[in-house]
Amino acid sequence: MRWDSTEEEISTFERLIRKEKNSKVRDRMRGVLLLKKNFTVDRVAEILGVTERTVYSWKRRYKEEGIEGLKNKPIPGRKTVLDENDMEKLRSLLEERDYWTSNQVGELIKREFGVGFTNRHIPRILRKLGLRYQKPYVNDYRRPADAEEILKKDYWRPRWTTRQ
Select the more confidently predicted residue: 99 or 34: 34
Residues 55 and 92 in one domain: no
Give the mean pLDDT of the chain: 85
Q: For residue 94, tell me if it sits in a domain.
A: yes
Residues 111 and 94 in one domain: yes
The number of folded domains in the chain is: 2
Question: Quick one: pLDDT band at residue 158, thresholds 50, 70, 90?
Answer: low
At 162 the pLDDT is 59
For residues 87-116, give the mean pLDDT.
89
At 43 the pLDDT is 94
Q: For residue 153, tell me if it sits in a domain.
A: no
Residue 63's domain comprises 7-70
Closest CA to 80 of 121, 132, 131: 121
Q: For residue 29, tell me if it sits in a domain.
A: yes
At 150 the pLDDT is 78
Sequence-ordered list of residues with C-beta below 8 angstroms from that of 90, at least 6 positions apart, any chain: 82, 108, 109, 112, 113, 125, 129
At 147 the pLDDT is 81
Residues 37 and 86 in one domain: no
Sequence-ordered list of residues with C-beta below 8 angstroms from that of 105, at least 6 positions apart, any chain: 94, 122, 125, 126
Domain boundary among 70, 98, 122: 70
Q: Decide: pTM greater than 0.75.
A: no
Residues 100 and 125 in one domain: yes
Q: For residue 90, tell me if it sits in a domain.
A: yes
DSSP 8-state secondary structure symbol assigned to residue 87: H
Residues 101 and 62 in one domain: no
Q: Count Cβ neighbours within 10 Å for each residue of 93-106 and write b for 16 or more, e otherwise.
A: ebeeeeebebeebb
